[in-house]
Amino acid sequence: MNKWLKRGLWLALVLLIGIVGLSHYMLESSLRPAPRGRDLEGSYEYMFDTYPRLEGWVDSLRRVGGLLDTTIVADDGARLHALYVRASRPTTATAVIIHGYTDNAIRMLMIGQMYHADLGYNILLPDLRNAGLSEGDYFQMGWLDRWDALRWMGVANEIFGGSTQMVVHGISMGASTTMMLSGERQADYVRCFVEDCGYTSVWEEFAYQLGLMYGLPSFPLMDVANLICRWRYGWALDEASALEQLRRARLPMLFIHGDQDHFVPTSMVYPLFEAKAEPKELWIVPEAAHAMSYRDHPDEYTARVGAFVSRYISR
């Protein structure tokens, strides 16, 4: 064999190994990052520092035994956990609240307080897999989580009386979970959805982060990562699309996105909003970074969400 051809083949092999290795690293570091969501004490400390009004509400619930835990066992045997709180007065109005990437149910308690203390709802907050007290050792980026979330919606309906009127509200990865599940068949108690800064698809979010963090193009790294994800985890990055699920969604949805979001870029919300059939609303939040719309504008956030859900849920 010609020595230049041999060198070329070796160079191609080394390049291929490098691409596969880098793609594998990118995928594993994304789906198995540092488990911040497992730190329950640290999560409470962060939330009480960030949302000063929250600690008094949580303490009051704890004093009366109102902040409760429940678990379910998924079809694959994983034990999953959620927090829930009954409304202070009997109501069928119920919110299922879904957390974001590397977060947990505790880190969504500010939205839980909004629905419970300000709007008078029952609330249930699941820990997604690999977060809080739920089992699992990697993140499913909302795609497989949609099945767990649909199961939790049924559990919430049972806990709160069996004839609820339900909103599902997610932030970041939880927002994409919400959009992804919205395209599935819904129980008759589900009334509407709120998504706050969700991504169009796992592929597009990973490709965006690949360029943002490393300055690398999506091809061929994303294509190889896609194959690895399919082989290792049983689902593909290019099928995990909130955008495509929204094309099948029919229930009302409120879209929220900060105009200074550089983690899930604000530009993603526009095709999502366009893909969703009426009824729908869009709020672009001024000067808000990723997942900070409620923190920066709590009164307006509460008013807008309250006005939206009240059109479809009566108390």
DSSP string over 213-258: HH---STTHHHHHHHHHHHHHSS-GGG-BHHHHHTT--S-EEEEEE
Picking from 253, 245, 259, 249, the residue whose alpha carbon sits closest to that of residue 289 is 259
Task: Give the pLDDT confidence of 73-115 residue by residue, as tens digits.
Answer: 999 999 999 999 999 999 999 999 999 999 999 999 999 999 9
* Residue with tokens 């939880």, as numbered in its chain: 174
Query: Which pLDDT does position 35 carry in this prediction?
Result: 78
Q: Tokens representing 231?
A: 């082989």
Is it the case that residue 4 has pLDDT exceeding 90?
no
Q: Tokens representing 111?
A: 């939205």
Sign for the CA dihedral angle at 145, 147, 150, 155 comes to negative
Cis geometry, peptide bond prior to residue 279 (ω within 30 degrees of 0): yes
Is it the case that residue 260 has pLDDT exceeding 60?
yes
Rounded to 10 degrees, the C-alpha dihedral 269/44/181/261 comes to 10
Q: Tell me the mean pLDDT in the region 253-282.
A: 98
DSSP state string for 65-86? T-SEEEEEE-TTS-EEEEEEE-
Task: Give the pLDDT confidence of 230-244 residue by residue, as tens digits.
Answer: 999 999 999 999 999
Query: Which pLDDT does position 219 carry in this prediction?
Result: 87
Sign for the CA dihedral angle at 294, 299, 303, 306 comes to positive
Q: What is the mean pLDDT of the chain?
A: 94
H or E stretch covering 142: none
* Distance from C-alpha of 248 to C-alpha of 113, rounded to nearest angstrom: 31
Side by side, the strands of the sheet bearing 253-258 are 68-73, 79-85, 122-126, 93-98, 165-171, 190-196, 253-258, 280-285
Cβ atoms 252, 179 nearer than 8 A: no
Query: Which pLDDT does position 1 carry in this prediction?
Result: 56
* Residue with tokens 């390049």, as numbered in its chain: 15
pTM of the model: 0.95
- Residue 24 corresponds to which amino acid? H
Q: Tell me the mean pLDDT in the region 25-29.
A: 91
The dihedrals phi and psi of 234, each to the nearest 5 degrees, come to 85, 10
Is it the case that residue 18 has pLDDT exceeding 80?
no
Picking from 107, 120, 96, 85, the residue whose alpha carbon sits closest to that of residue 38 is 107
Query: Which pLDDT does position 34 carry in this prediction?
Result: 82
Is it the case that residue 225 has pLDDT exceeding 90?
yes
